[in-house]
Amino acid sequence: MKFIVSSSYLLKQLQVLGGIINNNNTLPILDNFLFNLDGSSLTVSASDLETTVSSKLEVESSEQGSVCIPARLLLDTLKTFPEQPLTFTVEENNTVEISSNHGKYALAYADGEEFPNAVELSDPSSTVLQGDVLATAINKTFFATGNDDLRPVMSGVFFQFSTEGLTFVATDAHKLVKYTREDLTASETAEFIMPKKPLNLLKSILAGSEEDVTIEYNESNAKFTFENTEMVCRLIDGKYPNYEAVIPKENPNKLSIDRNQFLNSVRRVSIFSNKTTHQIRLKIAGSELNISAEDVDYSNKAEERLTCDYQGDDMQIGFNSRFLTEMLNNLTSDDVSLEMSLPNRAGILTPVDGLDEGERVTMLVMPVMLNN
């Protein structure tokens, strides 16, 4: 088999697919890209067994065939070429020869038949979303996923589709993010937990994309199809915790403040906090917010005063500054609102402005016990 393709066009597609390949695969065949040629259409695939991604490329050819080419070697070679047409020829002596304007390069290949097939979804349900909407939903929730191997369900993002709206949730038991779109709906109710790795890939491919993404899913797998790419991945098995139960409903104490000012203040003060607990103290009275931290072991301490808009009882509450910083960083609004009920109940952080019609973001952060 033989085909001609633009070097930069091929590199761009392969860099996306390369994100799925593990550094240490149990099956050596997974260190390769599968090239499947059918006339002028070339389908390139990469897999780690859990997730398979494939892209269709336009090439010059009238032949057919399939080969597996070593991914790392091919990517490293393509990165060094200026834009030019490359000719790939599969030779008799078990090598693929790449001819460029200036030279020839031979790579050993494996038989395309050895590459594992992507899972076919039987009887899937489906939903269509705009690429950018999906990328935003992943971006808003991804950072709050857990890393605990003992609780695999919390290491992914929970997708909840219904005829009333779409909800995406992530939590690691210390913080929780719920992102809702009330302006978009699914044709039927469904829920599944998406693992991090395929989400990371989708997030980078779909940012800013106005293309439609078709999401098909059943009990065990999900398939995302857009433009010329399709991705099939295994879902995380298990039941997601009842997150609604941990969101406090009655929060009489409400603080509104400029997000940037609050974020910078928390960042500065947290430098002086204890290096294991990262604890900062918020003391709110009237229209004044006092943020302080102390590391008793080293006699380091810091305190800042900010003006805010506050309705409620005077209170003191402690938070882990790292969680608070992550959440404030992830929001894009000018002002944020922090709602609290008691010093031992979770605080709810929401953006005051900057959201589209029908878009909702709720972030929940667990308090830490203050030692007076």
Given a contact cutoff of 8 angstroms between Cβ atoms, the answer to whether 221 and 230 are in contact is: no
Q: Which of 278, 319, 274, 320 is nearest to 298 (CA)?
A: 274
Helix or strand or coil: residue 323?
helix
Window from 182-186, 300-304, 363-367 with minimum mean pLDDT = 182-186
Query: Strand pairing partners for 213?
Result: 129
Given a contact cutoff of 8 angstroms between Cβ atoms, the answer to whether 259 and 334 are in contact is: yes
pLDDT at site 277: 92
What domains are defined for the chain? Answer: 2-114 (3.10.150.10), 125-244 (3.10.150.10), 248-368 (3.10.150.10)
Residue 4 has pLDDT above 70, yes or no: yes
Q: Which of 148, 262, 247, 163 is nearest to 196 (CA)?
A: 148
- The dihedral formed by the CA atoms of 67, 69, 71 and 72, expressed in degrees to the nearest 10: 180
* CA distance linking residue 148 with residue 141, whole number of Å: 17
- What is the mean pLDDT of the segment spanning 88-112? 94
Using pLDDT thresholds of 50, 70 and 90, give the confidence band for residue 149. Answer: confident
Render pLDDT for 9-41 as a digit per residue (tens, 0 to 9).
Answer: 999 999 999 999 999 998 999 999 999 999 999
Please give the structure tokens belonging to residue 89.
């020829």
Residue 178 has pLDDT above 90, yes or no: yes
Q: Which of 236, 190, 238 is nearest to 217 (CA)?
A: 190
Q: What is the DSSP string of 207-243?
A: TT--SEEEEEE-SSEEEEEETTEEEEEEPPPSPPP-G
Q: What is the DSSP string of 69-99?
A: EEHHHHHHHHHTPPS-EEEEEE-TTSEEEEE
Helix axis angle for 196-206 and 131-142, nearest 10°, is 130
Max alpha carbon distance in the chain (Å)? 82
Task: Using a pLDDT cut of 90, give the percent of the chain over it.
Answer: 92
Q: Report the run of H or E that residue 141 belongs to, with start and end.
A: helix 131-142
Q: What sign does the CA torsion over 44, 46, 49, 52 have?
A: negative
Render pLDDT for 265-299 as a digit per residue (tens, 0 to 9).
Answer: 999 999 999 999 999 999 999 999 999 999 999 99
Residue 51 has pLDDT above 70, yes or no: yes
pLDDT at site 353: 93
Residue 345 has pLDDT above 70, yes or no: yes
pLDDT at site 372: 63
Render pLDDT for 183-233 as a digit per residue (tens, 0 to 9).
Answer: 999 988 999 999 999 999 999 899 888 999 999 999 999 999 999 999 999
Please give the structure tokens belonging to residue 157.
């993002």
Please give the structure tokens belonging to residue 280.
């900062």
Count CB neighbours of 244 within 10 A.
9
- What is the mean pLDDT of the segment spanning 94-108? 95
Per the prediction, the chain carries an average pLDDT of: 95
Helix or strand or coil: residue 159?
strand
Q: Report the run of H or E that residue 14 belongs to, with start and end.
A: helix 7-18
Rounded to 5 degrees, what are φ and ψ at 322?
A: -65, -40
Please give the structure tokens belonging to residue 283.
């003391």
Give every CB contact of residue 249 below 8 A, 6+ residues apart in sequence: none
